[in-house]
Structures are given as C-alpha cells and as structure tokens.
Amino acid sequence: MPQDPAAIQQQIENTRAELAVTLDAIAELVSPRRVAERTGEQIRNRAAEVRQKVLASVSGGPEAIPAGSDDDAFAFGGPAERPGLPGGFGSGLVMRRSVRWDRVAIAGTGVMLLIFAGRRRRRRRFS
C-alpha cells in the first residue's frame, strides 16, 4: 500500500534526529577528555577503597590478629613498629602477611636460570 509522502518525510526526519542523538552519545563516550575523566574517577575510587581497607585492617578489621598468637612468625609491623598509627603501642594488633606464590615462582625461576647460565658459561670457559 502506498504511503503518504508527508508521512515518509516525517519518518526520515525522526530517524535523522534519533541518529544525531546516538552519534552525540557515541562521541561523548569516546572523547579523550571524557575517557580521561572517567579513568581518573575510577582510580580515585579504587584508591579510596584501598585506603579504607588499610585503615580497617590497622584498626582491628578482619585482617588483624592479636599479638602473641601462633601466627606471629608470619606477621610484620608489630605495635612497637607503628607508633603513629591507631594500632600502635599497647593495641596488641599485628598485621598478617600472605605469601604471593606467583611471585615466589617467578623469583625462583629467575634464580634457577641464573644458576644454569653460570654453570653453562663455566663449562664453555674450561672446555
């Protein structure tokens, strides 16, 4: 069924207006200035989260353990070492430190490579 030319013209104008709005939104998303602003905001938010976690752990949050427990061998930053922080003198809190096994593996691999390279170099020199 043929349509009215005025109705077709109105649809074209509506489509152009919607397309213009869509293009403006895309340009806003990919604008380097806006990307930098969003990235900066994300970094500030993450830094605030880390700061809150650190303060919570220093003031007796879930990562803090009582001084004198069996885990003292794996602890650092005892009360006498942090006089300016809330967990300082007399609080009895020590921060728990976890082992980063991925870093241990990387360091171990590097040491092994150095040892094998040194042995190979010596063998070449004496051969």
Instruction: Work out the number of other CB atoms within 10 angstroms of the CB of residue 41.
Output: 10
Q: In this predicted structure, what is the pLDDT of residue 126?
A: 67
* H or E stretch at 40: helix 32-58
What's the chain's Rg over C-alpha atoms?
31
pLDDT string in tens for the chain (127-residue length)? 568 999 999 999 999 999 999 999 999 888 888 889 999 999 999 998 888 888 887 775 544 445 444 444 444 444 444 445 554 555 555 566 788 888 888 999 999 999 988 888 777 776 6
Q: Is 96 exposed, middle or buried (0-12, 13-18, 19+ CB in 10 A)?
A: middle
Structure tokens at 36: 């930098």
State residue 73's pLDDT score.
Answer: 44
